[in-house]
Amino acid sequence: MSSKPTILVTGGLGFIGSHTLVELMQAGYPVVAVDNLSNSHAGVADKVRDIVAAFYTARDGDASATPRLDFFELDILDEDGLASIFAHYALPYCRGQARSRIGGVIHFAALKAVSESISKPLSYYRTNITGLVNVLDAMDAANVKTLLYSSSATVYGSLTTAGQAQESLCRHRADAPAAPASPDLSKGLQGCAGITNPYGRTKWMGEAILQDVCASDPAWDITALRYFNPVGAHASGAIGEDPLDVPNNLMPCIIRVLDGRKSELQVYGTDYETADGTCIRDFIHVVDLARGHLAAIAKATERHPVVPGSSLPMQALQEALGSLPADLSPASSEHGHSSESSPSTDDGHFLSQSVSTSSLSDEHTPSSDSTSLTSPSTPASSRFEASAPVSPGKAAQPNDLRIFNLGTGAGVSVMEMVSAMREASGLPLPIVAAARRPGDVVISIADPIKAQQELDWKATKTLQDVCADTWHFLQTHACS
Ligand SMILES: NC(=O)c1ccc[n+]([C@@H]2O[C@H](COP(=O)([O-])OP(=O)(O)OC[C@H]3O[C@@H](n4cnc5c(N)ncnc54)[C@H](O)[C@@H]3O)[C@@H](O)[C@H]2O)c1
């Protein structure tokens, strides 16, 4: 049995989510994937299981060490359904504190097409903002306070044109200067200056909400990861970017030309002030990006070591009990963990199901012998006030949202990417010059130093890896 906490991944069957599931499971984390399949397929869960089982078989000679992957088909707008999933993984209360086998959440589920966000802004605010608040509410009720949030380089708006974007260009702390015209950008800006579309604004607002939540309660440990341009696919060819919707990003558009669904690639803007006239982006291999999440989760776990099998931080438990009882000490964790009821299926390994509120509701309710229960039905308004009181006389530590760029730090133009994909595929990949797209920034490149220094993470894959893996995925996919 794994000693790592279970990680719940919303949007887990999507492009970045599925690659992150693989990296988490290969590192020993059991995972719970939640997805409404609006832009993914249920079959992705089995592909992830196959990749990970092959990894453990190659390593150990058999797949018995493969961590669990439980999949729930659920919309994050379904608050009761979310609460039911957390209830499913609840452990008995300890001295009035909710405990969960879920140790942290990675929140990918969102709508992400920039152009669609302009025509359907309310859908974007509903899914990306209300959905985020629902996830936070469900986490809070279950006392799960560690979250990684999928943010985006779009929060920098057009500020990236000046060069590599540092995290400080867009901050949410109240002491950041508010005037966008501040000449000293190194001090950062408060406010979403230059964001050109509703999608980008949902990402900025999401970060702002998370900063407020962090400030409200020091128990929250929240990290926003600002992705630049994720591309590529898993080296197995089994999973990659396969959007059901009309693609907006460069690589899915290239794929549609290479697989014959489109006759030519439209290159939006060939007269920018760049060497070849096309926009420049920081393309990051999706496996590197997934490993960035692994690094961030590992750091959060280091900051808040949890009682194995529980979301309850060791420190909180010690404070609650005065001293740690022997049966909850790390050395006896396997015993404590295996005694819990488990939602496993007949094969004892994987579980996949659709959620209805009634199907899960009372299955694993907290024990009722506790004196001061905080039930999952606690009103949202009271939940943030309830936890982690600061001891009298002890100064409260500021609890800020942690923010990291995940990018390579190198720029590649649209035409350079087209050339690299022509080389990898051996196909002509016809292009046609089109007008600039409203909202596109000319240059968007990460300054990745902070993630290197604080997360011990660095992108290692090359543009050739990106193109070879994308082409392999396309060929495997076309034949499957
Ligand atoms: N791909 C990019 O270029 C990029 C760049 C920056 C940030 N991001 C962010 O990363 C995250 C993941 O992006 P991706 O490229 O993997 O997208 P994706 O569409 O492949 O994955 C998102 C997943 O969330 C699911 N989903 C959508 N709405 C949902 C809902 N209401 N309830 C439950 N599930 C829902 C979809 O079915 C999909 O499987 C998103 O938050 C996106 O905004 C992506």
Residue nearest to atom 18 of ligand 1 (CA): 14
Predicted confidence at residue 192, as pLDDT, reads: 63
For residue 422, pLDDT beyond 50: yes
pTM greater than 0.75: yes
Instruction: Look at residue 363 in the predicted model and tell me its pLDDT.
Output: 31
pLDDT given at position 474: 92
**Is the separation of the CB atoms in 76 and 131 below 8 Å?**
yes
Atom number, ligand 1, closest to the C-alpha of residue 40: 39
Tokens 């001293």 belong to 323
User: Does 6-233+283-408+445-460 carry CATH code 3.30.70.20?
Assistant: no
pLDDT value of position 336: 30
The pLDDT value recorded for residue 176 is 57
Predicted confidence band of residue 163 (pLDDT cuts 50, 70, 90):
confident
Hey, whose CA ends up nearest to atom 21 of ligand 1? Answer: 14
What string of DSSP letters covers 264-331? Answer: SEEEE-S-SSSTTSS-EE-EEEHHHHHHHHHHHHHHHHHHSPBPTTSSSBHHHHHHHHSS--GGGSGG
Check whether 394 has a pLDDT greater than 70: no
pLDDT at 306: 61
Sequential DSSP letters for 383-437: HHHHS-PPPTTSPPPP-PPEEEEES-S--EEHHHHHHHHHHHH-S---EEEEPPP
Write out residues with Cβ below 6 Å of ligand 1: 11, 13-17, 35-40, 75-77, 108-112, 127, 131, 150, 152, 227, 229-230, 249
Whether 127 shows a pLDDT value over 60: the answer reads yes
Distance between Cα 69 and ligand 1 center (Å):
19
Please report the pLDDT score of residue 478 as a whole number.
Answer: 62
Atom of ligand 1 nearest to the CA of 203: 43
CA angle 264, 269, 271 (to 5 degrees): 125
Tell me the C-alpha distance between 253 and 437, whole Å: 15
What single letter denotes the amino acid at residue 241?
E
For residue 315, the model assigns a pLDDT of: 56
Q: Distance, CA 233 to ligand 1 centroid (Å)? A: 15
The single residue listed with the structure tokens 């002509």 is 428
Q: Where are the domains of the chain?
A: 6-233+283-408+445-460
Across the range 445-468, mean pLDDT stands at 97
Q: Could you list the active site residues?
A: 199
Beta carbons within 8 Å of 377's beta carbon, 6+ residues apart: 83, 141
Judged against a pLDDT cut of 70, whether residue 34 lies above it is answered with yes
Using alpha carbons, list the distances in angstroms from residue 140 to 77, 117, 202, 387.
16, 29, 21, 9
CA of 234 to the centre of ligand 1 (A): 17
Longest alpha-carbon distance in the chain? 70
Residue with tokens 């057009």: 158
Q: What is the pLDDT of residues 96-115, one digit of tens each?
A: 888 999 999 999 999 998 88
| Cα 177-181-183 angle, rounded to 5 deg | 80
Predicted pLDDT of residue 323: 38
Closest-CA residue, ligand 1 atom 35, reads 109
Q: What is the pLDDT of residue 343?
A: 35
CA 13, CA 15: separation in Å to the nearest integer? 7
Residue nearest atom 32 in ligand 1 by C-alpha distance: 75
In this predicted structure, what is the pLDDT of residue 221? 97
Tell how far the Cα of 156 is from the centroid of ligand 1, in angstroms.
Answer: 19
Q: Which atom of ligand 1 is nearest to the CA of 229?
A: 3
* Mean pLDDT computed over 70-94: 96
Q: 168-213: per-residue pLDDT in tens?
A: 888 887 665 544 444 455 555 555 667 878 999 999 999 999 999 9
Q: Could you read off the pLDDT of 335-378 as tens digits, one per residue?
A: 333 333 333 332 323 333 444 433 333 333 333 322 222 233 33
167 CA to middle of ligand 1, Å?
22
Nearest CA to 137 out of 377, 403, 389 is that of 377
Mean pLDDT score across all residues of the chain: 81
From 14, 106, 12, 21, select the one nearest 66 (Cα to Cα). 21
Ligand 1 atom nearest to 38, measured from its CA: 37
Q: Mind listing the pLDDT tens digit for each residue in 311-338?
A: 555 555 455 444 333 333 322 233 333 3
Nearest by Cα to 67 from 16, 101, 96, 108: 101
Q: What is the pLDDT of residue 364?
A: 33
